[in-house]
């Protein structure tokens, strides 16, 4: 079963997301959180979701932290 189908099934079963919810997605810039952004984006119209992306740069990884923050910012701009 494709990932999106599994995700939809899980959302329906858990009832954690309801119509017209506002969801703040914590995004590190890694593959898991970016995947979650795209999965929720795929459900956005169906559920009438308002999605926001949040990123906290702890500045613990030097240049990599800066790259992650820039990537997340660019992702959020792209998905507006």
pLDDT of residue 55: 98
Residues 6 or more apart whose Cβ sits within 8 Å of residue 28: 55, 68, 72
For residue range 36-71, what is the model confidence (pLDDT) as tens digits?
999 999 999 999 999 999 999 988 888 999 999 999
CATH of segment(s) 3-78: 3.40.50.620
SS3 32: helix
Contact yes or no for 55/65 (Cβ under 8 A): no
pTM (2 d.p.): 0.91
Contact yes or no for 47/76 (Cβ under 8 A): no
């Amino acid at each position: 079963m494709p990932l999106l189908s599994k995700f939809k099934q899980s959302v329906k079963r858990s009832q954690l997301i309801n119509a017209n919810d506002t969801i703040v997605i914590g995004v590190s810039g890694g593959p898991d959180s970016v995947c979650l952004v795209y999965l929720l984006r795929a459900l956005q119209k169906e559920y009438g979701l308002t999605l926001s992306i949040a990123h906290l740069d702890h500045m613990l990884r030097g240049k990599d932290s800066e790259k992650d923050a820039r990537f997340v910012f660019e992702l959020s701009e792209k998905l507006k």
